[in-house]
Structure 1
Amino acid sequence: MDCVALLEKLIGFPSLVGTGNHAIAGWIADYASTHGAAVHLLPGPEGDRANLFITLGPVDARGYILSGHMDVVRADEPQWTSDPFTLRQEGARLYGRGTSDMKGFLAASLALLPKLAGKRLKRPLHLAFSYDEEAGCRGVPHLLAHLPALCDMPLGAIIGEPSGLQPILAHKGKAAARLTVTGKSGHSSRPDLALNAIHGLSQVLSTCLSVSAALEKGPFDPTFAPAYSTLQVGVISGGQAVNIIPADARIELEVRAIAGQSPKDLLHPVERAAEALTEAGYGVDWVLLSEYPALALDPTSALAALAREISGQEPLAAVSYGTEAGLYQQAGMEAIICGPGDIARAHKPDEFITRDELIACEAMLERLAAHLF
């Protein structure tokens, strides 16, 4: 199968984030096995989804990981002009959910397997395909926990998020949480007999604003825009009617942290403010929804030099979106972002990638493969 045929097959699996992925993972596992790869299907704790770790070459040597995620965001937008889970070819463009983010990279990686099958490699090539990346990189930590038993520590990981094949050295870390405050409902004419959950939550919102303002004062990293860590509340809900004292209210919030700051730690003042509400009789439920660290690759590193060579482009210092790359770096290896497509097309109706972008990615990966012999 050529790269476009592989992409067509992958797009046909509606592997939505937060849902079972055995269909797509099983198909990829079978495809890789037919080309002589060692395949490890690694079930996650959810029971209905799994990560994949695929290897060609010696596992006792240090090689490279091509990393991508199998899940995609929903495609409910009415602006789609064709079935988002059927690849549509129109001129040079290939439309479908996940074409850029990031099944195009998966297809190009899988297309490399038959070209290397049966050849004697001095270094291994690993494909690490995860689940639920779009929910805050929830799947890949389970894959990385298995890594020491699967191979020698890789020299580096290339995370194929859409970057126009320009290597990217850094991104911010992120942590997201949901807070639910529970009070006691009642008629608005007798607030003395009730406990207003929104009023309680407002005290936590005040802390959110204070933390956000403090972060704007530094520390700073000029490679990012903005150059400091941030906190924002993205979702708020609660109450039924103006004459009913609300029994519950909730927010979802996130922090995005520059390298050197822990995203989870930046949430601690808000969590402590929430816990303080229990003294006033409120119920408090704090749930950490997701967390991943920042990526900060030394521009003089061996992986940065390799990415520059195989992509033919100078690395970009940083991007504002997050990826699994920081988790690979945290696991003890160098990591860099470099993949086909454009992040500006992701999560939108009529997402697409071009044939030329796929061809260029295949050529880049073949140049990487030359370092395996």
Structure 2
Amino acid sequence: MSRSRQLLQTLVGFDTTSRESNLQLIEFVRDYLAGFGVTSELVYNEERSKANLFASIGPLELAGIVLSGHTDVVPVDGQAWSVPPFELTERDGKLFGRGTADMKGYIACVLALVPELVKADLRRPVHIALSYDEEVGCLGVRSLLKVLEQRPLKPMLCIIGEPTGLKPVLGHKGKLAMRCDVHGEACHSAYAPYGVNAIEHAAELIGELGRIGQRLRDTRDARFDPPFSTVQTGVMSGGKALNIVPADCRFDFEIRALPSQDPGEVADQLKAYAEQQVLPRMQAVSAQSAIRFTELSAYPGLVTDECSQAAQLIADFSGSQEFGTVAFGTEGGLFDAAGIPTVVCGPGSMDQGHKPDEFVSVEQLDGCDEMLRRMYLSLSR
């Protein structure tokens, strides 16, 4: 078994579902790196129940390359797995387990390279960055980036190892997730006109959101699929009983915006519609009526120039000049916003991510080992 597969077996064994702590995995990586003389810096959350890890190998006086991955995985609840999700199972050239594709496979390959990195005479440093809570809004990496932004020398490239089939990706959409709470006035349904039906007014807002989404289709970018910004309502709840006019309703919606568009503008349009069109009619019946919007999570889009140094480097490492985009979001936009040129390239496919019997192929894992080996050889004297 290759070193990367051995490490993947260990990493999959840690249940790092976002609702759980990732400290066991982080402490394993810290100790693993320490065994090769590499010091790790941990950046904890406020409760100290989770941590980011940052470690550097090689000379620090020049800009280097960051190999970045998130340690958390999505839940397995309610999924019909044919293998234990937190054990690595090999079958027909595939390695099954939660996080194998998204994205512990990449992390395993990065860690497998460490013995060679510490022996190499590197001209530039290689940095390892591991974060928490990416799956719930790219939360953890923000505190890590605050630490890195205080340093005088920024890396020349960050490779986010999300699963892209080892094809270099230079762009993805940004995302804004919002919650809307609509508060009306309850009464007996026989006297419905004397109440304020929160569900009906929430539905009116959702209808307006759909109309905004239709207008977004006018701005297109053929590099993305779909080639326009999108909105959708994913969760809605409200009401107590059929014969009671509901006083409260809540719905969650998201905007996935092209990098050239600000998703906040969509939220602002909906807020303006709520304040100018919906709320006055609600308050005409009950002055206590209210509509509140709360941001749940957000991350910026990513668009890296095909002619940039970052694009050329990942083309050299991956062996492909065919740049693409992905529909899902990553932490790449946050690294890029922090002044660190960023690309996305990693083993496996998101078609397998977040599903039962998630897997990464042995071929993809071996290919990632080769890509990272080409990277470190390019940095060696």
Q: Is the 8 A contact 1:185 1:195 kept in 2?
A: yes
**1:58 to partner: Cα distance:** 2.2
**1:164 to partner: Cα distance:** 0.8
Q: Distance in 2 between matches of 1:204 and 1:68?
A: 37
Q: Distance in 2 between matches of 1:271 and 1:355?
A: 49
Identity %: 39
Residue equivalent to 1:33: 34
Q: Is the 8 A contact 2:306 2:323 kept in 1?
A: no
Residue equivalent to 1:82: 83
Query: Which amino acid in structure 2 is aligned with residue 370 of structure 1?
Result: L
**Which of 364, 371, 374 is 1:357 aligned to?**
364
Residue equivalent to 2:317: 310
| Residues 286, 318 of structure 1: alpha-carbon distance in 2 compared, 3 angstrom cutoff | same
Q: Which runs of 5+ in 1 are unaligned?
A: none
Query: Which amino acid in structure 1 is aligned with residue 17 of structure 2?
Result: L
**1:23 to partner: Cα distance:** 1.3
Residue equivalent to 1:348: 355
Residue equivalent to 2:17: 16
Q: Distance in 2 between matches of 1:29 and 1:78?
A: 32
Q: Is the 8 A contact 2:30 2:39 kept in 1?
A: no
Residue equivalent to 1:117: 118
The SS at the match of 2:158 is: strand
Which moves more between the two structures, 110-119 or 171-180?
110-119
Residue equivalent to 1:240: 240
The SS at the match of 1:126 is: strand
Q: Is the 8 A contact 1:203 1:273 kept in 2?
A: no
Which moves more between the two structures, 205-214 or 242-251?
205-214
The SS at the match of 1:18 is: coil
Q: Distance in 2 between matches of 1:273 and 1:32?
A: 54
**1:326 to partner: Cα distance:** 1.1
Residue equivalent to 1:370: 377
| Residues 273, 49 of structure 1: alpha-carbon distance in 2 compared, 3 angstrom cutoff | farther
**CA deviations over 1:327-356 (Å, ceiling 9, x no partner):** 111111211110001111001111111222
Q: Distance in 2 between matches of 1:215 and 1:226?
A: 11
Residue equivalent to 1:139: 140
Q: Distance in 2 between matches of 1:76 and 1:104?
A: 21
Q: Is the 8 A contact 2:12 2:87 kept in 1?
A: yes
Q: How large is the Cα RMSD of the aligned pairs? A: 1.8
Q: Is the 8 A contact 1:236 1:249 kept in 2?
A: yes
Q: Does 1:253 align with 2:253?
A: yes
Q: Is the 8 A contact 1:68 1:105 kept in 2?
A: yes
The SS at the match of 1:329 is: helix
Residue equivalent to 1:67: 68
Query: Which amino acid in structure 2 is aligned with residue 296 of structure 1?
Result: V
Q: Distance in 2 between matches of 1:214 and 1:144?
A: 35
**1:139 to partner: Cα distance:** 1.5
Residue equivalent to 2:129: 128
Q: Which runs of 5+ in 2 are unaligned?
A: none
Q: Is the 8 A contact 2:149 2:338 kept in 1?
A: no
The SS at the match of 1:189 is: helix
Residue equivalent to 2:304: 297
Residue equivalent to 2:95: 94
Residue equivalent to 1:207: 208
